[in-house]
Structure 1
Amino acid sequence: MKRKHLILPALALAAALGLSACSASGQAAEPGGDRGTPVAGGTLTYFANTEPPVWDGQRIPSLNANSINSSIFDTLVAQADDGTYRPGLATEWEISDDGLTYTFTLREGVTFHDGSPFNAEVLKQNLDRPLNEPDLATVSTGIAENTVVDEHTLQVRLSRPNAALIHAFSTPHWPIYSGEVLANHSAAELAASPELSIGTGAFKVKEYTKGSQLVLERNDEYDWAPETWEHEGPAYLDEVVVQFVPETQARIGALTSGQADAIDQVPPLNIPEVEGAGLTVLEKDNTGTPYYIALNPNLAPFDDKNVRLAFREAIDVDGLLEGVYAGVYEKAWSTTLPDTPPAGSFDETLVDSWGYEPDHAIELLEEAGYTEVDDEGYRVKDGERLTLQWYVDSLYQQTDQRQQLGEAVASSLKEAGFEVVRTPFDSAAYTAELAKGEHHLSDSSRGFADVGTSVFPFTTIAIPSSNGGSGINYGLLSDPEIDAAYGIINSSLEPQERIDAAKVVQHRILDEGYAVPLYVPKKIVGTTDEVGGWKFDAVGYTDTFYDVWLQQ
């Protein structure tokens, strides 16, 4: 017996799971009130804070790339605001009772930007990629084989049940490329340039200047928007010019002077400046993991639980967030963020369960043998200073003033006797450096609207390899209890089972001192009053420019 789905309201994979996603549906974000009736035409100039390091969504789950790719690529299914899934490039799908076989019926009449047709064979090319490229982030999806049934039907067979497969197919992490592109270009070429990002979406790439800007133009042939959007047919905007401007004041200056219609990543301390200029600030909390510090328990002194807990209790998270962000960012209490689906996954009992305890931190260090203090004020054990190596991905330190926060955390830890050395690495080398296991600390955040992604970074299978790969377990943590809980989260179709397992992981991480949650990331966008139709996805990032319009 098979279950057939057009809207998928009853299956635990969808509404029952309450899954949301950084998907092809979004939540309107217009706190400034009614912008009026949408009109077609115009060029939107958008200043992004960073240029994506990789353009291929299957390779690295980069939210910066997703914010652009979701306008270029359509997704196989689309997610509505109520958590159900609607037709996208697939008009319907059936799932076998054992959860291992998915049969997708595909939309007819869809073409890629290069004029080639979308069909089952092309979809197979895209879904076969993780079978042939083991370093893709999508390898973890569990696809074992894809079979073309006919021109508009594809069967996907899994090696194991995956409770979040439909969810994954609703996100930009699965960009569906033209078959011509996949046949004639290497994976490295796809990753290096958006000029090969040829999809079926509402916008297509017109120009790209590395290090400077990307220009998107409307796809006038677009006539297959999911019903989750606000209109049908082509996008409103003629063009979108995305400029990559890491300097905060340059972005804000461009917005206030009218050079930009919208800017990404308004720092919290600059919100009054933007609002004071009569402009609009749009905010949306992320789901997934918070910004957190991962501790490597395999390397001394963090092989001692007391030292790990002392490290956490020596950090005045509230004070540092107030100083760096003026309280705009809220403290994160767990490695799973509030509102991460399914509803209830975040364990509210962890609120106020830990905090800044400097005296107790000293007691724990002394129990661990750090009873002496050297001339510079650092704790010492057996003649060895309590020194920690903090590896940093230099690209993402531009986000949310994380460089400033990291330096403040490192400096404040001296009071407890920790010496913290922060070492930046280029993004291309970062994961490979972590795989060597010579670091004590690393930091990360993962925006994704499913609890599985908030647990995956702490599983053994996510430990990075020496050649980089897609491993995101930056603390190199291997804990059987967490692995077992993730197995339930990843395979069960019962929402409560996934929720209960997620809570086990959250407690385990905090009880053992494997990570220090810092803050709840949020998307903060500034726009002029001429911008209407702006949307955020469930993960808290800009979804697509499809419904965005400009007052003329």
Structure 2
Amino acid sequence: MTGITAAAVALTVGLSACSPSSGSSSSGDVSAFTVARTGDIDKLDPQLATAFQTQQTLGLVYSSLVKTGTDGSLQPDLATAWTISPDNLTVTFTLRTGVTWHDGTPFGSADVKASLERILNQSTGAVARSNLTAITGIDAPDPATVVLHLSKPTASLLYSLASVNTSILAAKDITAGTVGKSPDGTGPFTWKQWDQGQQVVLTSNAAYYGGAPAIGTLTFRVIPDEASILSGMKAGAFQIGLISDPGIAQQAGSGGGYELVKQPTLAYHTFMLNGRRGPLQNQQVRQAIACAVDRDQVLKTAAYGDGTVTGPITSPAFPYPATEGLPCTPGDTAQAKQMLAAAGYGGGFTLDTIVETGEYASAGAEAQNLQAQLAKIGVNLQLRQLPTSPYVQAWLAADYEAAVALNGGSYDPYLMYGRYFGAGGSLSKPAGLESPKLADLLAQGNATNDEAQRKAIYGDLQKQLLAESPWIWMFRSDDYYLVKSGVQGFTARPDELLTSLAAVK
């Protein structure tokens, strides 16, 4: 694990365009601060959160044992230090003292123990459960110490514990069954209200260990149309506007009372195929679809070319050729048609395809482009457009044959795919495919701290993912932030979290 930490410190994922604080004057009063975005949250339990807006919001209310910097380095959060035994089977955390829950009760090791046990309890349905299954025991010998016992070395463990999905909850709330009903965290902002479909309101936590945020009231306003977000920024109605449409970003530019910040992300745009349904159970059919898709064309059409064609692994420390492993040249429709015919589907077929509306702007354009491309080989995409919450519900239930999706990336490849394709993965159902080869490669990569071995293993994992084609990986895009002139302290992140709002002045 120590090798992983050292590698992460060296990662560089920088901002392009200007920094929001460069050349800015003091913003003055930020006691009332509004962030405009197109989508709403969908739940109040951080351990169950999958939607980006939900993770962004609850990541400000709850804390984890550790956190990551913008460069991917591991940093203290509720734990101030940690030590790993020589055999990599025991991890001991020293907890921060003097921390209180938002209701004023003290935080301690019993909360950490209860939170991790809740994640490991299969009935919880926690998103990160499969990332923590190596934990065989949790000791809390005193209020400031937690000891994790592992069944095997787990290189990704610390990064797993830095996730919003491994947020620490109050033991009292777990016992009372109030988690997901009334958020009570230790983070920089406290929960105030949620008007569904309209706004979420948070307030500054005066007792936050990092110091009370200058933002007194933080409002996340739901503005369904990104053009309206741009208009609101021009009118001075918002302090920050979150934009995913590169066309709107091009219109926005900088000036006129705000600055445009562009941030490359770890997230990736993908076309998921449910390998448990119909023709998609045949690997050659999935490969044919993967071969038919011209990824560069999707990028240019849906994102104005503002991004990078990618393979499955987007972790900066693990770069690999984007399409090595496919049995073809992407975009070769003639070869794709031959492959479909050889698989017995020369006459084509229809795929029920879910498309999300509201969370990111390019989904519809991606779907239409894929629909046009795949029609050339006789595969008809029947598009089913759904708002964020119904989309997530359909996806979790694997109620789809294909899905246009935007997935969060990670600094650690195991965390990207262990929960989908690892043995006992917590999201194996919506992933749409069980593969012993993928599960074995994931287990191998997570069991060693040797960087050279991990790079070789994860290189094989990328090739195997492309060969089995459970999904078609298309591109990594940029996030755009419209930041009101004078706002200081906001830093865009590759993982799309908004934790720097706690430092805004």
Q: TM-score higher than 0.5 here? A: yes
Letter in 2 for 1:104: F
Displacement after TM superposition at 1:134 (Å): 4.1
Q: C-alpha deviations, 1:517-537, integer Å up to 9, x for none?
A: 112033211122132211133
Structure 1: which 5+ runs fail to align? Answer: 1-9, 226-232, 372-379, 381-385, 464-469
Residue correspondence of structure 1 range 139-218 to structure 2 within 5 A = 139-140=129-130, 141-142=132-133, 143-186=135-178, 190-191=179-180, 193=181, 196-218=182-204
Aligned match of 2:343: 368
Summarize the alignment of residues 75-94 of structure 1 with structure 2, pairs less than 5 Å apart.
75-80=64-69, 83-94=72-83
The answer for the alignment partner of 1:383 in structure 2 is none
Change (3 A) 1:169 1:366: closer
1:506 aligns with 2:467: no
8 Å Cα contact 2:109-2:143 kept in structure 1: yes
> 2: CA distance between counterparts of 1:164 and 1:236?
34
CA offsets per residue over residues 208-238 of structure 1, 9 Å max, x none? 222211222212222x22xxxxxxx322222
Decide whether the 8 Å contact of 1:213 with 1:243 is kept in 2: yes
Aligned positions, number: 496
SS in 1 for 2:148: strand
Q: Report the equivalent of 1:539.
A: 495
8 Å CA contact 1:457–1:473 kept in 2: the answer is no
Q: Is the 8 A contact 1:389 1:421 kept in 2?
A: yes
1:350, 1:440 → 2: CA distance? 23
**Does residue 33 in structure 1 map to residue 22 in structure 2?**
yes
Amino acid at match of 2:261: L
The aligned runs of 1:351-362 (5 Å cut-off) are 354-362=329-337
Name the CA shift for 1:427/1:417 in 2 (closer, same or farther; >3 Å).
closer
| Aligned position for 1:377 | none
- Normalised by the size of structure 2, how large is the TM-score? 0.88
The CA deviation string for residues 5-36 of structure 1, in whole angstroms up to 9 with x for no partner, is xxxxx9224114559799xxx99971572224
What secondary structure is seen at the aligned counterpart in 2 of 1:531?
coil
Output the CA distance in 2 between the equivalents of 1:293 and 1:513.
10
| Contact preservation (8 Å) 1:19, 1:449 | no
Distance 1:548 1:28 in 2: 19
Shift of 1:170: 2.3
1:390 matched to 2:376? no
CA gap of 1:399–1:130, structure 2 versus 1, over 3 A, is: same
| Residue equivalent to 1:138 | 128
Aligned residues of 1:391 and 1:442 also touching (Cα < 8 A): yes
**Counterpart Cα distance in 2 of 1:259 and 1:268:** 21
Superposed counterparts of 1:329-340, under 5 Å:
329-332=307-310, 334-337=311-314, 340=315
Following superposition, the deviation at residue 46 of structure 1 comes to 0.6
Which protein has the larger Cα radius of gyration, Structure 1 or Structure 2? Answer: 1
Is 2:232 aligned against 1:264? no
State the shift of 1:326 in Å.
1.5
- SS of 1:474's equivalent in the other structure is helix
Evaluate the alpha carbon distance shift between residue 18 and residue 330 of structure 1 in structure 2; reply closer, same or farther with a 3 A threshold.
same
* Deviates most, 316-325 or 517-526: 316-325
Q: Is the CA contact (8 Å cut-off) linking 1:130 and 1:138 kept in structure 2? A: yes
Query: SS of the counterpart of 2:454?
Result: helix
Among candidates 74, 83, 93, match of residue 104 of structure 1: 93
Distance 1:167 1:302 in 2: 33
Q: In 1, distance between residues paired with 2:108 and 2:152? A: 26
* 1:422 is aligned to 2:383: yes
- 8 Å contact kept, 2:270–2:474: yes
The RMSD of aligned alpha carbons is: 3.1
CA offsets per residue over residues 44-79 of structure 1, 9 Å max, x none? 111122112122221134332222223222332233
Q: TM-score, normalised by structure 1?
A: 0.81
Query: Which residue number in structure 2 is paired with residue 280 of structure 1?
Result: 259
Aligned-partner SS, 1:301:
helix
Range with greater deviation from structure 2 (271-280 or 501-510) = 271-280
Counterpart CA distance in 1 for 2:203 and 2:402 is 46
Give the counterpart letter for 2:340 in structure 1: L
Q: Does the 8 Å contact 1:19/1:167 carry over to 2?
A: no
Paired residues of 1:17 and 1:495 also in contact (CA < 8 A): no
- How big is the shift at 1:498? 1.9
Whole-Å Cα distance in 2 between the matches of residues 272 and 444 of structure 1? Answer: 21
Contact 1:67 1:542 in 2 (8 A): yes
In the alignment, structure 1 residue 295 sits paired with structure 2 residue 273:
yes
Counterpart of 1:409 in structure 2: which amino acid?
L
How far the C-alpha of 1:462 sits from its partner, in A, is 5.8
Please state how far the C-alpha of 1:335 moved relative to its aligned partner.
0.9
* Residues 193, 201 of structure 2: 8 Å contact kept: yes
Structure-2 separation of matches of 1:483 and 1:200:
36
Q: 2:245, 2:395 → 1: CA distance?
A: 27
**Residues 330 and 519, structure 1, Cα contact 8 Å, conserved in 2:** yes
Aligned to 2:410: 448
Provide closer, same or farther for how the CA distance between residues 313 and 33 of structure 1 changes in structure 2, counting only shifts above 3 A: same
> Retained in 2: the 8 A contact 1:121–1:151?
yes
Letter in 1 for 2:125: D
Q: What's the counterpart of residue 467 of structure 1?
A: none
Query: Which of the numbers 362, 367, 373 marks the counterpart of 1:401?
Result: 362
| 1:235 to 1:293, Cα distance in 2 relative to 1, 3 A | same
Residue 450 of structure 2 corresponds to 494
| Amino acid in the other structure paired with 1:79 | T
**TM-fit CA distance, 1:42:** 2.7
CA contact (8 A) 1:460 1:477 kept: no
SS in structure 1 opposite 2:305? coil
Conserved in 2, the CA contact under 8 Å of 1:206 and 1:216? yes
* 1:243 Cα deviation after fit: 1.0
- Contact 1:460–1:483, Cα closer than 8 Å, also in 2: yes
Q: Name the SS of the counterpart of 2:164 in structure 1.
A: coil
Instruction: Name the % identity.
Output: 20
Deviations 1:146-197 (A, max 9, x none): 22201211222234332122122223222223343333234xxx33x5xx22
The aligned residue for residue 12 of structure 1 is 3
- The letter of the residue matching 2:383 is R
Cα 1:455/1:264, change in 2 over 3 Å: same
Partner of 1:43: 32
1:309 equivalent in alignment to 2:287:
yes
Match of 2:232 among 242, 248, 254: 254
CA distance in 1, matches of 2:304, 2:11: 30
Work out the CA distance in 2 between the residues paired with 1:305 and 1:111. Answer: 52
CA distance in 2, matches of 1:178, 1:27: 39
Moved more, 476-485 or 174-183: 174-183
> 2: CA distance between counterparts of 1:214 and 1:271?
24
Q: 1:328 aligns with which of 306, 325, 329?
A: 306
Residue 441 of structure 1: how far off its partner (Å): 5.5
| Kept after mapping to 1: 8 A contact 2:355/2:364 | no
- Cα separation, 1, equivalents of 2:12 and 2:128: 15
Whether the 8 Å contact between 1:441 and 1:475 is mirrored in structure 2 is no
CA distance, structure 1, for counterparts of residue 407 and residue 321 of structure 2: 18
Mapped partners of 2:440, 2:430: distance in 1:
19
Evaluate the alpha carbon distance shift between residue 69 and residue 346 of structure 1 in structure 2; reply closer, same or farther with a 3 A threshold: farther
